[in-house]
Amino acid sequence: MSELLRVTPGFVLADVDADGVPGFDGGKKEGEQALADGAAELADLQERLYAQSLFGGGKRLLLVLQAMDTAGKGGIVGHVVGQVNPQGVKAFAFKAPTDEEKSHDFLWRVRKQLPPAGFLGVFDRSHYEDVLIHRVRGFSTPDEIEKRYGLINDFEAQLVAEQTTIVKVMLHISPDEQKKRLTARLETPEKNWKYNPGDVDERKLWPAYQDAYQRVFDETSTPDAPWFVVPANRKWYARLAVQRLLLDALRGMGLEWPAADYDVEAEKERLAKT
CB of 96 to a second copy, least distance (A): 13
Among candidate residues 33, 32, 23, 29, the one with its CA nearest the CA of residue 1: 23
Question: Going residue by residue from 70 to 99, which x/- string records binding to a second copy, judged by CB under 8 A?
Answer: ----x--xx--xx-xxxx-x-x-x------
> Residues binding a second copy: what is the number (CB under 8 A)?
45
CB of 177 to a second copy, least distance (A): 13
Complex with a second copy: residue 187 or 224, whichever CB lies closer: 187
CB of 222 to a second copy, least distance (A): 27
Rounded Cα distance, 273 and 1, in Å: 53
Q: Of 182, 212, 229, 230, which one interacts with a second copy (CB under 8 A)? A: 182
Q: Of 15, 98, 190, 252, which one interacts with a second copy (CB under 8 A)? A: 190
Interface stretch with a second copy, choices 1-9, 50-58, 103-111, 150-158 (CB under 8 A)? 50-58
Q: Does 255 bind a second copy (CB under 8 A)?
A: no
Kindly list the distances between the CA atom of residue 135 and the CA atoms of 61, 72, 76, 124, 142, in Å, as whole numbers in the listed order.
28, 23, 26, 19, 7
Q: Of 183, 207, 224, 254, which one interacts with a second copy (CB under 8 A)? A: 183
Q: Of 106, 123, 195, 227, which one interacts with a second copy (CB under 8 A)? A: 195
Q: Does 63 bind a second copy (CB under 8 A)?
A: no
Complex with a second copy: residue 93 or 160, whichever CB lies closer: 93
Complex with a second copy: residue 21 or 169, whichever CB lies closer: 169
Helix 235-251 to helix 28-54 angle (10° resolution) is 30
In the window 99-158, what residues touch a second copy (CB under 8 A)? 122, 124
**Cβ proximity of 225 and 155 under 8 Å:** no
Interface residues with a second copy (CB under 8 A)? 43, 51, 54-55, 74, 77-78, 81-82, 84-87, 89, 91, 93, 122, 124, 179, 182-183, 186-187, 189-190, 192-197, 200, 203-204, 257-260, 262, 264, 267-268, 270-271, 274
